[in-house]
Chains A and B, each alone.
Chain A
Amino acid sequence: MNLPLLWFSIRRHRIATSLLFLVPVIVGVFTGVFFPENQKDREMLGQVAKIFKKALDEEMILDVVTPAGFFNVAFQHPLTFLAVIFAGAVPLMALPSGDRGRGTLDILLATPLSRGRLVATAFAAGAFGAILVAWAPLLGVALGARFAGVADSVPIDAFVKTSVNLTALGLWFTALSAWVSVVSEDGPTAMRRLGSCIFIAFALQVAGQLWKGNTWIRSMGPIGWYRPALVTAGKGTPLLDAAVLFAVSIAMLGVALMLARRRRRA
């Protein structure tokens, strides 16, 4: 890893990372704003949740009438997923693939920087963004719960474990972005390929939820190893799930580094 380039990459994407950090925070705060204060509203919401429970795999739906279940939404919201994924991916779409397309990669690799160190540094910049944004929902939930006046009823311990799990999920997509970026000739090509991979990951998750009794489909994709509802219910294994995601991330990064070294052209 090269520290000057890492610092340069972080500064280069500081606006995008800051905006992506705000997304889960806003989702968490809005969760607090919409938290139903009276019993009647909660019961009505509970009826809606029952409909989803029938349609989807039950383990994904919590009892939303409780603060623990309601604020879990901030960790499962699609915007939260996308913010974490893109916070890791943006630096890697720029380096190496984006800079390869623009021509800036040549002057970087004409310095004493090796291809492997360049990709490792870009991964580190992506990991920094992914980790930062993965902890944003916790901040949002803390603010939202305080706003709703239920700060004492929110299971912070479970949400911390969920954040660790979300961090691992973010690193998984960051490592995937590194792989895609190394094999792509320019930024738009890398973005298209990464978009396809994200679509497949979400498709596996949705298919696993809709096709009851076939949870193995979910475990084929990375999102299947992120189960915030189970963690909040005290049934999940967030650290094991995080370890699986982390191990696969390391393996993918290893492949990306090997491919970078073997590339015929910078």
Chain B
Amino acid sequence: MTTALSIESLTVRHGATTAVDDLNLEVRVGEVFGFLGPNGAGKSTTIRTLLGLIRPDAGTARILGVDMQAAEPSLRRRVGFLPGDLALFAHATGRETLELFAALYGTDCPDRDAVFARFRFPASALDRPVKGYSTGMRQTLGIALAFQHRPELLVLDEPTTGLDPLARDAFLGLVADARARGATVFLSSHVLDEVDRLADRIAVIAQGKLRVVDTVERLRASLPRRVTVRRKDGTDLVFDAMGPVSALLDRIRGLDPEDVEIAPVPLDAIFQSVVQRRDA
């Protein structure tokens, strides 16, 4: 199987509002897929529909080749999920929570210790009730719940919310490890920098509609690069350039340059361009 996740003509309505509108998407096995969109774009609804938590009004969502609405619940053993608005059982300790979910997944959870080691999560904290955890600790516990049973597919909605920079790096390492062992990662995030570092391909959704799906490199190439030329007379010239590199180099050569800086197009520029272009 080459497709880990496929969505065909998916439409989900919340009353009169269409949260997801005729969405089509395919994620290949082993890739890290960034799923981006502004607030209220329909990302979380798409994810919840994928996992069978919401029934769609039209279309299908398949995970590992199986329609989640008709699938046996045991299929979810192969999926790890971290919701965007993570809520945990406040009265339970971290260890009780982990053990409950390990029992529900029915696995040994071989990666649990590795996750906590990577996040430098104090083992003693696991014996405290979750209600006493900081936001970052709760998020780390949520990440451990998603990763601990070594799933084939990880569906992560805003996974780094509340994490400090060190924990964020730990998370990036965790995703890199998952990719290295062949897992597929479906990653929804507002932090474009981490999507930029991790994702093989991205999709941008806005107002429930899919705006674009492509590799980050190809999307970058579709936007002008910011070029800063320091001329020999000491003045700086800043301009946006598109098209073949040879033409750009010819142009720069004609400007009598002393130094040149060509900034890569940041992902947030791509994101804004895609969302605003279609809005206009």
Smallest CB–CB gap between A117 and chain B, Å?
A: 8
Task: From known contacts A5-B104, A8-B92, A107-B145, infer whether A112 and B77 are also in contact, taking CB-CB under 8 Å.
Answer: yes
Q: Which residues in A have their C-beta under 8 angstroms from that of B53?
A: 106, 109-110, 265-266
Among A104, A106, A114, A265, the residue within 8 A (CB) of B89 is A104
Number of A-B pairs, beta carbon distance below 8 Å: 74
Task: From known contacts A264-B54, A265-B53, infer whether A110 and B91 are also in contact, taking CB-CB under 8 Å.
Answer: no
Q: Is the CB of A103 within 8 A of B73?
A: no
Rounded to whole angstroms, the CA-CA distance of A168 and B126 in the bound complex is: 40
Give the nearest-CB partner of A2 in chain B. Answer: B104
Asked if B95 is an interface residue, CB under 8 A from chain A, the answer is no
Among B81, B85, B92, B100, the residue within 8 A (CB) of A110 is B81
User: Per-position contact with B for A203-240: 1 when CB-CB < 8 Å, else 0?
Assistant: 00000000000000000000000000000000000000
Q: Is the CB of B83 within 8 A of A112?
A: no
A-contacting residues, B137-180, CB 8 Å: 142, 145
Asked if B105 is an interface residue, CB under 8 A from chain A, the answer is yes
Q: Is the CB of A110 within 8 A of B87?
A: no
Q: Which residues in B have their C-beta under 8 angstroms from that of A8?
A: 89, 92, 96, 100
Q: Is the CB of A112 within 8 A of B91?
A: no
Give the nearest-CB partner of B155 in chain A. Answer: A110
Task: From known contacts A12-B92, A264-B54, infer whether A107 and B81 are also in contact, taking CB-CB under 8 Å.
Answer: yes
Q: Is the CB of A103 within 8 A of B87?
A: yes
Give the nearest-CB partner of A262 in chain B. Answer: B55
Asked if A108 is an interface residue, CB under 8 A from chain B, the answer is yes
Q: Is the CB of B104 within 8 A of A4?
A: yes
Interface size on A, residues (CB 8 A): 22
Interface SS, A side: helix
Of the candidates A5, A102, A112, the one having the most CB atoms from chain B within 10 angstroms of its own CB is A112
Give the nearest-CB partner of A116 in chain B. Answer: B73
Q: Which residues in B have their C-beta under 8 angstroms from that of A112?
A: 73-77, 104-106
Q: Is the CB of B103 within 8 A of A4?
A: yes
Q: Which residues in B have their C-beta under 8 angstroms from that of A5?
A: 100, 103-104
CB pairs A–B below 8 angstroms (26 shown): A4-B100, A5-B103, A8-B100, A11-B96, A12-B89, A103-B83, A103-B87, A104-B87, A104-B88, A106-B53, A106-B83, A107-B81, A107-B101, A107-B142, A110-B51, A110-B53, A110-B76, A111-B101, A112-B73, A112-B75, A113-B73, A113-B104, A265-B48, A265-B55, A266-B48, A266-B53
B residues with CB within 8 A of A: 48, 51-55, 73-77, 79, 81, 83, 85-89, 91-92, 96, 99-101, 103-106, 142, 145
Closest 10 A-B residue pairs measured CB to CB?
Answer: A4-B103, A103-B87, A110-B81, A111-B104, A266-B53, A114-B73, A112-B73, A104-B87, A112-B74, A264-B55
